[in-house]
Amino acid sequence: MTRNKNPFTDRQLRLLEAIRAKIQEITDPDADVIRPETVKFYSSQTKKYGKIIKIKFPPRSVAIKAELSEAAGLFNSARREKLKEIRKKYYIKPAAHADARLFEEEFNQISFKLKKAMFITGLTNFLLTTGDSPLAEPCRLTQEIIMSEYPNITEKRAPLPAEDPAPKQGKTYEEELMEVK
């Protein structure tokens, strides 16, 4: 029996790809349309996972999270229709922001996996580092194994643009407005 080498489920991988695409769209400095959205990562305390990383897209965070959960195909349409019928039959109000909550739960699971992995790596490195080396031998060997077993990690991808790109040379927006008047 072969084991699944990837710690993420297919749903989580699709969600991560959708998030990456959305961040590229929002932070694109050469976009045709200027968007008011931003991307913010922050840490938050949860009952289920403890303190984990969260993401928000102000000012339309709920709508964007719903878009991302739909783009990643997180929901089961047959189950959704069945729930609609049950709610209609028993006069139950539809769940508010169900797609955004689905996004949140899936992203929480990803964040918790990241937290556990970073703890394992950090503790191993801390306990087994020798001499002047900043990286313990088991961590270095594990890195080599990962690079050989997961060749798609070394795929060349354009880095995500910074939230606030460096200002372009030339006139500011206010200076251009003064010229128009």
pLDDT digits (tens, 9 = 90+) for 140-162: 999 899 888 887 777 777 777 76
Cut 0.85: pTM above it: no
Q: Is residue 122 part of a domain?
A: yes
Q: Is residue 98 part of a domain?
A: yes
Q: List CB contacts of 168: < 8 A, sequence separation 6 or more.
A: none
Tokens of 116: 């556990």
CB 136 within 8 A of CB 130: yes
Q: Is residue 152 part of a domain?
A: yes
Q: Is residue 4 part of a domain?
A: no
Per DSSP, what are the bridge partners of residue 54?
Answer: 42
Tokens 């959305």 correspond to 22
Q: Is residue 2 part of a domain?
A: no
Domain total of the chain: 1
Q: Is residue 156 part of a domain?
A: yes
Q: Is residue 5 part of a domain?
A: no
pLDDT value, residue 147: 86
The ranges of the chain with pLDDT < 70 are 1-2, 162-170, 173, 177, 181
pLDDT value, residue 116: 95
pLDDT value, residue 80: 82
CB 66 within 8 A of CB 103: yes
Q: Is residue 1 part of a domain?
A: no
The domain in which residue 73 lies consists of: 10-166
Q: List CB contacts of 149: < 8 A, sequence separation 6 or more.
A: 5
pLDDT value, residue 157: 77
